[in-house]
Structure 1
Amino acid sequence: MTSSDIWRLNATDLTALTRNKDISAEDAVKSSLDRMQQVNPDLNAVVEDLSDEALTRARNLDKAVANGAEPGPLHGVPVTIKINVDQKGHATSNGVVALKDVIAPADAPVVRNLQDAGAIVIGRTNTPEFSFRADTDNELHGRTNNPWGRHISPGGSSGGAGAAVVAGIGALAHGNDIGGSLRFPAAANGAVTVKPGLERVPAWNPSQKTERGLLAQSMSVQGLITRSAADLHLSMPSLIAPDPHDPFHVPMPWRGTAGEGPIKVAFTKDTFGYALHPEVDRALDIARDSLVDAGYHVEEVAPPDVFECGRGGYRALMGEVLTLLKSDIEAAGSQTIRDIFEVYFQEFPPITGTDLIGMLAKRSHYAREWSLFMQNYPLVLSPFLPQPFFKPDRDTEGAEGVHEVLGCAVYSYAMNFLGLPAASVPALLANLPQGPQPINVQIAARRWREDMAVDAAAAIESRVGQMCLPLWDKMSASA
């Protein structure tokens, strides 16, 4: 492999070389930066180029290792950080023009944990305003494009992260997820991710002036988007390192105990009245067969009511948003985001006042139902979206657009309300009339067992392959 091709390496393969000193951290960073210069102008995934900082850090890491320092588990791995998380000396704009000069006084725990492990931040990635769309565009930095083509949204809110990592800009991409913001970009771009469970990854922004609402705290999680499931096993143990700034973080090891016998998987195609597209149906069959071939015991069985739980949970979140965030959106948001939120409130009528307190109490009921169900079925394989991923700006097209983008995504935000981990992995590259696009499925797991969800994603990936490979061929052919 030539130095110019190092960017193609997954983090797992790259660290095997950097830790053994076969490749320097500087070489790894240079290759990713070259790739960024090549493809990012068309994608607008990275909106702050940190080339100079990255090269300086890489050289310092190389010197330290040359002088006898032990390389970290992510030594020399290029990574991107989403612009809604604090990185010292850089703007935490959250995609909002009015916040463009909010400079972080210190690193958020996820940034520090990645850097402590030896990762090197090469850029900061785009997000929609207030990080509250399943698409990525804003008046501050503009639209992020999907590397598969302009016929697909890049997803959101971690759309810049998903587009960057799949296109080869860094081996790891940081993102976060309050209702699907890791999994939407993974599905849109053909990447792999796991939404961690409640309090699995420490979270805090040193620049914040007030604490987030209770549901935002409990539904939002930090995570990573990758090209390969193996890279999640490599990187997540570093990401979950404890930090005292998050007093509710649960410091559990990444790997749980192995169970006896084949792991039982509940398999469902139920989309609660939303039409299931034939290609999504086919992707689910491929994912099921992949797990069966890998030794899992897969049964078609209905999990507890996802629709009631998911819709109720998101309506409760909208009640909190209406109470705590709406004034900020009205004051600092564009007309586009204000219009979208008005339709959100129609699609998900906000639960407020006494009813909101009641729904917060009922959350335990839903979580208990799932906990009991998962005693028998530690994993649940389901659709992520019932249809192939939507086009850019679909959520600006009124009630019908928001319904297609978020209304039908109950398998997504239900997992946030429950606080359960959920992986997203490609199971099919569909050739649709508008162009090729990946189809991802979701694998939910028992509480604290992100590792099991990632194992299952790896089993599916081993059969389907990594979506980045045909994408890179496509990008090269069109260059």
Structure 2
Amino acid sequence: MTDRPLWQLSACDIADAIASGEISSREAVVSAVERMRERNGAINAVVDEFGDEAIAEAEAFDGILKRSGPIGPLHGVPVTIKENVDQKGKATPNGVTALKDVIAPADAPVVTNFKKAGAIVIGRTNTPEFSFRATTDNELHGRTYNPWNDWASAGGSSGGAAAAVMSGMGALAHGNDIAGSLRFPPAATGSTSVKPSLGRVPAYNPSAPAERGLLAQLMSVQGVIAREVRDVRLGLRQLVRPDPHDPWMVPVPFDGDPLDGPIKVAFTKNTFEFDLHPAVEKALDTARNALSDAGYDVVEVEPPHVREIAREAGKCLFGEIGALMGNDIQQYGSTIINAIFENYFKFFGIHEGQDLIRALAQRTHFAREWSLFLAEYPLVLTPFLPHPTYKWDRDTEGLEGVIEVLGSAVYGYSMNFLGLPAGNVAANYNDGQPVGVQIVGRRFREDLILDACEAVEQRVGVMAHRLFERG
């Protein structure tokens, strides 16, 4: 243990200290709750806090620990849940004012799995309307601020999760991702995450009135955002527990077979029609050098069909959204979100009817091409965005703003379309703001991605430590 306050400690250190009796669950949770109550007024990351309830639960957990040992690997670790996922007895408004009275009848699988592992939920985090912006702001709860700078976006749609964990409001934060929502926030805040493979973490919302569209099911995943890569590994291990509510989950062991070394890493700086910012180029070079020095065989080579995949992903996703969600967005969404969606449709275009069916069939071709590519290169180091993070309201500034914020993230939503895992880790610090890179891997090899992210983190350092030094 260090002399740092408990809210600054990693989830791994907190879990170890509680299990060994060095600290109590109550002490860990009280520290996180006090930090939340001190800091959240300025950040607005947690929109539904239940600190007193969490402290009482932590006291009960201390009794359980003395009687029978830890509940699980996260015994007593304070965590947050994104408010678009059901938590029994809590609201699931998904950032929409009209849905503020939707109360979950039961826990979603990610909440169940966190609880089975012994985690204690201290609050629910903010998300944009319909969880469909790369910045976190809505009429219901307001804007979530980036802990580094007031001007910058905290990312989205899991911006509340990232801002909370980077501010010390919990050691782990649940988030989810349909087009980059587990990676935009780390890119903006210096936190870290890995978007899991399709079928890796069980997903289900008991409050949902209908099943999601097919493409949403294929592209959306649940995951963890943390301050350190090892904490993402610890948290994600707990979320991959099977749950019968999700018939498409694949119960694959978290750790795959070791690969014969050195592991080949494909490396690209290609940002297509978008200019590569020098700070992102430096981050990519730093990550490449860190991986090379760690024993990886890094080869500069172009991954297959990225820009084409991104175009098809956008047209398919927004075609489905227009068909299944368009009326709800128009009826229940704010003027701001409707204007943003209008520009989404303009930039990405939409597939309808037979075009959508053909594009979904072509998805298998793209996935096969990437499967063959990953057979030779098990990891791929790419930009996530061609530029450092954007100002918080950039996507409200017309078509150009939407293109800069979401349209340029071609390495983001393309990986969702393929169902491949992809991590984000800070690899540079530029002008008061972290800069992240993306590492893609084979399906169900999140462990390999996390190994590579740790190599980068060891070179660059944990960005939260730098943030905490600022007060």
TM-score, normalised to structure 2, is 0.99
Q: Please tell me the root mean square deviation across aligned C-alpha atoms, in Å.
A: 1.0
For each residue in 1:59-115, what CA deviation from the matched residue of structure 2 results, as whole angstroms up to 9, or x when unmatched? 111111111244310111110000000000000000000000000000000001001
Distance in 2 between the 1:385 and 1:339 partners?
23
Query: 1:230 — aligned with what?
Result: 230
Distance in 1 between the 2:382 and 2:321 partners?
28
The alignment status of 1:385 with 2:381, answered yes or no, reads no
Distance in 1 between the 2:427 and 2:459 partners?
9
Query: 1:439 — aligned with what?
Result: 435
Query: 2:245 — aligned with what?
Result: 245
Distance in 1 between the 2:56 and 2:116 partners?
15
Query: 2:446 — aligned with what?
Result: 450
Q: How does 1:372-411 map to 2 (within 5 A)?
A: 372-411=372-411
Distance in 2 between the 1:213 and 1:68 partners?
44
The alignment status of 1:34 with 2:34, answered yes or no, reads yes
Q: Matched residue of 2:5: which SS?
A: helix
Query: 1:300 — aligned with what?
Result: 300
CA contact (8 A) 1:3 1:27 kept: no
Query: 1:157 — aligned with what?
Result: 157
Aligned-pair distance for 1:430?
0.6
Aligned-pair distance for 1:273?
2.1
Query: 2:318 — aligned with what?
Result: 318
CA contact (8 A) 1:268 1:302 kept: yes
Query: 2:120 — aligned with what?
Result: 120
CA contact (8 A) 2:215 2:320 kept: yes
Aligned-pair distance for 1:236?
1.1
Distance in 1 between the 2:191 and 2:24 partners?
26
CA contact (8 A) 1:290 1:463 kept: yes
CA contact (8 A) 2:314 2:349 kept: no
Distance in 1 between the 2:83 and 2:235 partners?
20
Q: Matched residue of 1:67: which SS?
A: helix
Which amino acid in structure 1 is aligned with residue 453 of structure 2? A
For each residue in 1:305-345, what CA deviation from the matched residue of structure 2 results, as whole angstroms up to 9, or x when unmatched? 11110121121000000000010001111111011100100
Distance in 2 between the 1:148 and 1:2 partners?
24
Which amino acid in structure 1 is aligned with residue 444 of structure 2? W
Aligned-pair distance for 1:2?
8.0
Q: How does 1:103-252 map to 2 (within 5 A)?
A: 103-252=103-252
Which amino acid in structure 2 is aligned with residue 189 of structure 1? T
Q: Matched residue of 2:462: which SS?
A: coil
Distance in 2 between the 1:176 and 1:97 partners?
20
Query: 1:83 — aligned with what?
Result: 83
Which amino acid in structure 1 is aligned with residue 449 of structure 2? A
Q: Matched residue of 1:375: which SS?
A: helix
CA contact (8 A) 2:426 2:460 kept: yes
Distance in 2 between the 1:137 and 1:273 partners?
28
Which amino acid in structure 2 is aligned with residue 66 of structure 1? K
Distance in 2 between the 1:137 and 1:466 partners?
27
Q: Matched residue of 2:426: which SS?
A: strand
Distance in 2 between the 1:461 and 1:2 partners?
20
Residue identity over aligned pairs, in percent, reads 59
Q: Matched residue of 1:19: which SS?
A: helix
Q: How does 1:343-382 map to 2 (within 5 A)?
A: 343-382=343-382
Q: Matched residue of 1:439: which SS?
A: strand
CA gap 1:459/1:75 in 2 versus in 1, 3 angstroms: same
User: More displaced, 194-203 or 228-237?
Assistant: 228-237
Which blocks of at least 5 consecutive residues in structure 1 are unaligned?
none
Distance in 2 between the 1:349 and 1:214 partners?
18
CA contact (8 A) 2:70 2:118 kept: no
For each residue in 1:201-233, what CA deviation from the matched residue of structure 2 results, as whole angstroms up to 9, or x when unmatched? 000001011000000011000000010011122
Query: 2:74 — aligned with what?
Result: 74
Which amino acid in structure 1 is aligned with residue 446 of structure 2? E
Distance in 2 between the 1:211 and 1:53 partners?
32
CA contact (8 A) 2:71 2:116 kept: no
CA contact (8 A) 2:309 2:366 kept: yes
Query: 1:20 — aligned with what?
Result: 20
Which amino acid in structure 2 is aligned with residue 233 of structure 1? R
Distance in 2 between the 1:40 and 1:391 partners?
20
Query: 2:99 — aligned with what?
Result: 99
Aligned-pair distance for 1:407?
1.1
Distance in 1 between the 2:195 and 2:211 partners?
22
Distance in 2 between the 1:69 and 1:282 partners?
47
Query: 1:53 — aligned with what?
Result: 53
Distance in 1 between the 2:261 and 2:200 partners?
27
Distance in 1 between the 2:90 and 2:215 partners?
27
Distance in 2 between the 1:49 and 1:3 partners?
27
Paired residues, what number? Answer: 471
CA contact (8 A) 2:76 2:119 kept: yes
CA contact (8 A) 1:19 1:71 kept: no
Which blocks of at least 5 consecutive residues in structure 2 are unaligned?
none
Which amino acid in structure 1 is aligned with residue 209 of structure 2? K
CA contact (8 A) 1:65 1:71 kept: yes
